[in-house]
Amino acid sequence: MRINRFYQASEIKVGNRISLCKNVSNHISRVLRLKDEQEIELFNGDGFNYCASITISGKTVTASILSQTPAENESPLKIHLGQAISRGERMDFTLQKSVELGVVSITPLITERVQFRYDTKRLQKKLHHWQKIIESACEQSGRALVPTLNSPLSLRCWLESETLPGLVFVPGATSKIADFSCQGAMRLVVGPEGGLSESEVELILNSHPFTATQLGPRILRTETAALTGISILQAQFGDL
């Protein structure tokens, strides 16, 4: 039987009793209707899973930490995904599935064809929403390391932020992912609905250690391209 698993953004130590956050407590007591002394699994992003026994008192749930075990399901391939911001649930879907597939870092990108109109308050709300999606995907997939969600950047700033080699998907490119070599860490840039402009592709290829590659003869949606590319990369260099 699969044990219920929750993200707890606080320090967790074996032998301690901790109060679980409001959302987790509500889910345990009101949705799942778990009982006192049932065991759950907690993680806080430090790479360990923690077995705990719960005590429910009204709306409050506390957990006694019984043991810890290292998570051993991280891919040897460390992918930093630069994903052009897509509209509505498409971005949510891409974030969720890319975490399940093992990316370690995600930066939302503002490209020429991205309509990005957020003030500071709305941006913080959106980042909080995306962070919750990432945490939930870790709960579901069994990951104990939570991928980093960076603040949105322009394509140029993101390219200049690191020197890791990477791939960019360009329809009609002559290379395939099989032609790419990777030493364990890389970047992957995925364009928005409508694709990257010619000048953006030129910027990527002329100024930075990127390789243009294609994903077959058909044009893929942005969310399909991201997940297809990550899956192929994990199969070739990672743990799929």
pLDDT digits (tens, 9 = 90+) for 145-176: 999 999 999 999 999 998 899 999 998 899 98
**Residue 66 reports pLDDT greater than 90:** yes
Write down the mean pLDDT value for the chain.
Answer: 93
Question: 19-33, 92-106, 135-149: lowest mean pLDDT where?
Answer: 19-33
Instruction: Note the pTM of the prediction, 2 decimals.
Output: 0.92
Residue type, 234: Q
**Residue 1 reports pLDDT greater than 80:** no
Write the DSSP assignment of the chain as a string of letters. -PPPEEE--S---TT-EEEPPHHHHHIIIIIS---TT-EEEEE-SSSEEEEEEEEEETTEEEEEEEEEEE-----SSEEEEEEE--STHHHHHHHHHHHHTT-SEEEEEE-TT------HHHHHHHHHHHHHHHHHHHHHHT-SSPPEEPPPEEHHHHHHH----EEEE-TT-S--GGG---SSEEEEEE--TT---HHHHHHHHHHSSEEEE---SSPPPHHHHHHHHHHHHHHHHS--
Domain ranges of the chain: 5-70, 78-237
Considering the four listed CATH numbers 2.60.120.680, 1.10.10.1100, 1.10.340.70, 2.40.240.20, the one that applies to the domain covering 5-70 is 2.40.240.20
Considering the four listed CATH numbers 3.30.470.10, 3.40.50.720, 3.40.640.10, 3.40.1280.10, the one that applies to the domain covering 78-237 is 3.40.1280.10
**Residue 186 reports pLDDT greater than 70:** yes
